[in-house]
Amino acid sequence: MILLQDLLTVTLPLAILFYTQSTQSLTCFCTDQYLCPDTKCVTDGVCRAFIKLKSDNSVKQGFQCIDKNKLYPPERPFSCQNSKAVAHHYKHQCCDKVNFCNLNLTLEFESSKKNLDSEVEDVLLESNKRTIYLVITVLASSVVILATGCIVYIVRFSKAGACSYDLPCFQSYSEVDTKSCDAMSTTTLQDWMSMSCSGSGSGLPLLLQRTIARQICLKECIGQGRFGEVQRGVWRGSNVAVKIFSSLDETSWVREVEVYQTSMLRHDNILGFIAADNKDSGTCTQLWLITHYMEKGSLYDYLTMNTVDTEQAIKMCLNIATGLAHLHLEIQGTQGKPAIAHRDLKSKNILVGGDGVCAIGDLGLAVRHNSRSNSLDLPLNCKVGTKRYLAPEVLDGTINDADFESFKQGDIYALGLVFWEVAYRIKNESELCPQYQPPYWDMVGIDPSLDQMRKVVCLDQMRPEMPSNWNDSEPSHSMAKIMAECWYSDPLARLSALRIKKSLQNILTLLPKTTECNLVFA
């Protein structure tokens, strides 16, 4: 009895397992010669039949098994559902009732009538699209023609002087917009400056600055530098210079605009500031600084292309010294003007106007001195100027950064080098004038390093040699003496800008009287 009970305990589960497996298996007809070499397959899922339209319009029919783990989702498997997008060339169907049930499935493609209906629908849809495109084209053409007619109509009335309430006046609003439309259309930049500026040097009112900046038409590039480029622009027939900074150099732009807007800065020998604005160029944001246009470019460019006579050279040097003296000068008053040191004085930062007047520009590295608090307003960047023009105390690191006089003395050293550049191009009747050369051209290369300049200026105590074509006249000796007193290694021994200005004025009075020169002095 015990043996019979043990036998039942072992065989009964095996029988149940065998029965379960046999009920879950399904035998299907299969045409896959690699997976089903004997044309049948066994699966726990479903049997499937499919038809496929080949490229030669023949129909291929196939049969296969799909396992249960590939039926997803179980209630509506994707493997057994037909897609409308491919129904015209591929269809399939599944079954799981009896073995070889996929042989009983009948599949066929849609009738030719339905295909014809589909083609008719496609033709109608294409016709509708063409109609829509035609309507859009007609409407767009009508808008363009109407806009062109309006512009022609308005331009004709504008030329005829018709400025009435019926037509808009195309002048942007400004704080000084008190003239009539006709008068506004003929107002030049000089008129705006005289109407809007108090002489403080801060340019036009802020709202008017933005108005002018957006009306300027750029014409050509006239210079490039580490900040960006300078272009000539035109506003109402007047030329202006537009210094364009990259948005990555916003700090330098803000600093230079800030210094140019210093109260009481405006002077004939300092580049005139007009406006500042930012503009979107489409790919990046441009920062504009708009100043007076100097027709002859920088002093560096002018001396490269031209020679000067003795009188013209002294007047140019006097212009530069006068501008620097005004920068260094502190003006006491209600608004007043702080003393300013340039810190990057060189021939490329001095501009020459059409009448030969020289003006100092590029105040991005300038430092301002507040005498009341005895504090310095230094730029945030760490630039120290051009290496070729750096004073000895800057090169060897002995300059006192806390003393404003140290920065002024550095400007005087650079001023002496600029005087040498001008004197080097003085033409002499007896000798041929040498080509333009920068200071220390015979001692260092085109782009000298700080170590090279330190060796030449500080260790070897070298200075530029006086040109061989100078004559023995008194103006030449006086100019050479002024340059030598600007180049002293001891900063305290150097002349002041005001002393240099007065010395040049005395030299100018001793020159023989020639034709009037229209240079302007303060």
- Side by side, the strands of the sheet bearing 367-370 are 339-341, 367-370, 375-377
**Nearest alpha carbon to residue 324 among 199, 438, 414:** 414
Cβ-count burial of 502 within 10 angstroms (0-12 exposed, 13-18 middle, 19+ buried)?
Answer: middle
The one-letter amino acid code at 363 reads: L
Torsion angle defined by CA atoms of residues 289, 290, 292 and 295, in that order, rounded to the nearest 10 degrees: 90
Give CA separation, 487 vs 6, 160, 208, 223, 416, in Å. 121, 64, 44, 30, 6
Give CA separation, 350 vs 281, 292, 330, 406, in Å. 29, 13, 22, 22
**Nearest alpha carbon to residue 317 among 478, 201, 431, 463:** 478
Taking CB atoms within 8 Å and a gap of at least 24, the contacts of 65-68 are: 65/26, 65/28, 65/30, 65/36, 65/41, 66/94, 67/43, 68/43, 68/44
Give CA separation, 174 vs 171, 208, 250, in Å. 9, 5, 26
Active site (annotated) includes residue 344: yes
b (16+ CB within 10 A) / e for 347-369: bbbbbbbeebbbbbbbbbbbbbb
The one-letter amino acid code at 42 reads: V
Residue that has been written with the tokens 């730029």 in this structure: 379
For residue 404, give both structure tokens.
């404003």
CA 336, CA 23: separation in Å to the nearest integer? 106
Q: Given 96, 277, 344, 362, which residue is catalytic?
A: 344
**Nearest alpha carbon to residue 470 among 462, 479, 459:** 479
CA 483, CA 495: separation in Å to the nearest integer? 10
CA 80, CA 59: separation in Å to the nearest integer? 19
**Phi, then psi, of 51 in degrees rounded to 5:** -130, 145
**Rounded CA Rg of the chain:** 44
CA 406, CA 411: separation in Å to the nearest integer? 9
DSSP letter at 169 equals -
| Residues catalogued as catalytic | 344
